[in-house]
Amino acid sequence: MSLLRFTKDHEWVRVDGDVATIGITDYAQQQLGDVVYVELPEIGKRIEKGHEAAVVESVKAASEVYAPIGGEIVAVNDALAVTPALVNEAAQGDGWFVRLRLADSAGLDELMDETGYAAYLAELA
């Protein structure tokens, strides 16, 4: 069973076993507008929780994507190099950025679940 969690910076993480998939939320991609470029890290790179995992550029701005949890990059979404608009089309699906092998899953408890994130978005409205 996968575990989906969210940050206040609008990143999401889906954990399956010891591998976490990271992306930005639908709310974040709406705020960015049309995504035109995504910069991804190299496979094998270690990323600490809260550090930059990727960069996304849109017609409005460039923004860092921060790792909600730390680990080693085991995969990147190469499809984003060809079709960065996948982030807009399926932010919480095919528009994921990186997958990493978890260094420690303890930090997941600090993140919001879907209900908590929905309540957080309601506060922003």
Domains in the chain: boundaries = 3-117
Residues 54-106: pLDDT tens digits? 999 999 889 999 999 999 999 999 999 999 999 999 999 999 999 999 988 87
3-117 CATH: 2.40.50.100
What's residue 103's pLDDT?
87
Q: Full-prediction pTM beyond 0.85?
A: yes
Which residue is it, tokens 């190299």?
42
